[in-house]
Amino acid sequence: MARSRTTWRCQQCGYGAPKWLGRCPDCGEFGSFVEESAPAGVSGAGSADARPRAVTRLADVVTEDGQRILTGIAEFDRVLGDGLVRGSVVLIGGEPGIGKSTLLLQAAGRLGDSGVPVLYVCGEESLQQVRSRADRIGAKDGVALLPEVDVTAVEATVLAERPGVVIVDSVQTLFDPALDGVPGSVGQVRATAARLVRLAKTHDVTLIVVGHVTKDGTIAGPRVLEHVVDTVLYFEGDADHAFRIVRAAKNRFGSVSEIGIFEMTGTGLAEVGQPSGLLLAQRARGVAGSAVMATMEGSRPLLVEVQALVSPSYLPAPRRLSVGVDSSRLLQVLAVLERRAGIALGSYDVYVSVVGGIRVAEPAVDLPLALALASSKTDRPLPDGCVSFGEVGLTGDVRAVPHTDARVREARRMGLERAIVPDPQGRALPDGAIPVSTLSEAIGNVCGTDR
Ligand code: TYD
Ligand code: MG
């Protein structure tokens, strides 16, 4: 077979060159050249065949909904949107060592147990390494391993074996022999991923592809692939915490607001179905600067502890440090506390943190954050059993956020009866919820009025 020609193409302007160039002579961009392959014998791009093609009426298209393959790991199935859709391609991104291979081997074991044959393409680890991990997590039969990095061989094996699900770990180790670039380069990752996607779509193969990302997300991998796959999941969490969160960044077959919560244990990833209890377990009661927030992760309420420490500053520009909360939210809450609630923290260092390595991105964190800060400043603990949520506006008003009922219910389930919630403007509130319409009112309610 004739070897394909390859070209290097500038990703900014499309300029083609026979070899890699550091700077594009056409548009002047640096480092923008990516290798591309053109099949041998084809000159120029585009098709010369001008015959009209058959079109399909939208109403005549048969949908394949309902053909879902459940992995048997409920937290994983939830993020996928109720299992894997047949013939779809799922990309799982995450930093090295976060637990991608562990999760997928566990899923492979479960799928194998339920009679879905799985082909696990292990380009990163030897068969022995995969086996010893499988022994740890208890994955057993029904999983076939393929230690291969050549994408052509992977395609051929998939077509010969016809497994129910193919797992490729990882896309950075695969290479297309038609291209010169090293495995893991942008050109190789794109080309191999495109071939895998084509394989999945033309032969109805269900594919899960692993891709590594580093903290800044710049390394070739998931970011350049997001648009070619059906579903993109990111594995988050840091090595210092046991919690691992799988979050959907894109899902053609489900919601992107769902998350799956796992805990890394000595025997693989354990599902955390009721995370609130775990997150609040170590909470010290009766300590100033701690507030419990009811946040939403997808459709599920989750209770987390927001901590604040306010301490006199000896610096010309006092410190403001935040972990798990957006730092601009903190600055805004500090300004509102000073101007609208009379709590001035300009000469104090301020540290805030959400416990357990959780990140809270929703505006509803404003109220618990403000209460934790006020509590730390006044050195008065919030009352036992107090939980809060609500967005704080620049005028010091507390604004409603969605899912009030679910949040209050979760708090009651965990034994927190005193819920400080935004005034629902005439709508009914669940039992035990205390409506507040301004930040001062909320602080007066939980910290007492004299400051
Ligand atoms: P791994 O799945 O290899 O990460 P990735 O494929 O994302 O690079 O996970 C590796 C980490 O998980 C490693 O630090 C060891 C730890 N681990 C456990 O703590 N318990 C286990 O049962 C397993 C299999 C791994
Ligand atoms: Mg791995």
Q: Higher model confidence: residue 221 or residue 78?
A: 78
Ligand 1 contact via 264 beta carbon (within 6 Å): yes
Higher per-residue confidence, 144 vs 223? 144
What is the rounded average pLDDT for all residues in the chain? 87
Mutate to test the pocket of ligand 1, among 92, 102, 214 (most ligand atoms within 8 A of CB): 102
- 153 vs 88, 90, 174, 320, CA distance in Å? 21, 21, 10, 54
213 and 94 Cβ atoms separated by less than 8 Å: yes
**Residue 240: Cβ within 10 Å count:** 6
Q: Which has the higher per-residue pLDDT, 451 or 15?
A: 15
**pLDDT > 80? residue 413:** yes
Query: Best substitution site from 264, 265, 269, 271 to test ligand 1's pocket, by max atoms within 8 Å of Cβ?
Result: 264
Residue-wise pLDDT for 222-266, tens only, equals: 677 888 899 999 888 766 777 888 988 889 988 887 888 898 888
Closest by Cα among 404, 129, 158, 433 to 294:
404
271-275, 313-317, 374-378, 446-450, range with the lowest pLDDT: 446-450
Q: Does the beta carbon of 267 sit less than 6 angstroms from any atom of ligand 1?
A: yes
Give yes or no for residue 324 having a pLDDT over 80: yes
| pLDDT of res. 279 | 78
pLDDT in tens, 165-218: 999 998 989 999 888 878 877 788 888 999 999 999 999 899 999 998 866 655
CA distance 397 to 20: 58
* Ranges 78-82, 156-160, 282-286, 375-379: which has the least confidence: 282-286
Angle among Cα 21, 22, 26 to the nearest 5 degrees reads 70
Give, using CA atoms, the residue closest to atom 14 of ligand 1: 97
Q: From CA 196, how far away is CA 132, in angstroms rounded?
A: 28
71 CA from centroid of ligand 2 (Å): 19
Ligand found nearest the CA of 105: 1
* Tens digit of each residue's pLDDT (9 = 90 or more) over 380-390: 999 989 999 99
Q: Write b or e for each residue in 139-159: b if 16 or more Cβ atoms lie within 10 A of its Cβ, otherwise e.
A: beebbbbbebbebeebbebbe
102 Cα to the center of ligand 1, angstroms: 6
Separation CA 176–CA 39 (nearest Å): 13
Mean pLDDT of 299-316: 93
Task: Give residue 450's pLDDT.
Answer: 43
Q: What local confidence, expressed as pLDDT, does residue 45 receive?
A: 52
Task: Tell me what the mean pLDDT of segment 23-48 comes to.
Answer: 72
Please work out whether the CB of residue 170 comes within 6 Å of at least one atom of ligand 1.
Answer: no
Distance 388 CA to ligand 1 centre (A): 36
- What is the C-alpha separation between 111 and 165, in angstroms, rounded? 8
43-77 pLDDT per residue, tens: 455 567 888 988 988 888 877 665 789 999 999 99
Q: Alpha-carbon distance 269 to 430, whole Å?
A: 36
pLDDT at 42: 47
Q: Please compute the mean of the pLDDT values over residues 152-165 and round it to a whole number.
A: 94
Q: What is the mean pLDDT of residues 117-139?
A: 90
| Reported pTM | 0.78
Residues with CB under 5 A from ligand 2 (ion): 101
Ligand 1 lined by 136 (C-beta under 6 Å): yes
Find out whether the beta carbon of 132 lies less than 6 Å from any atom of ligand 1: no
pLDDT higher at 237 or 119:
119
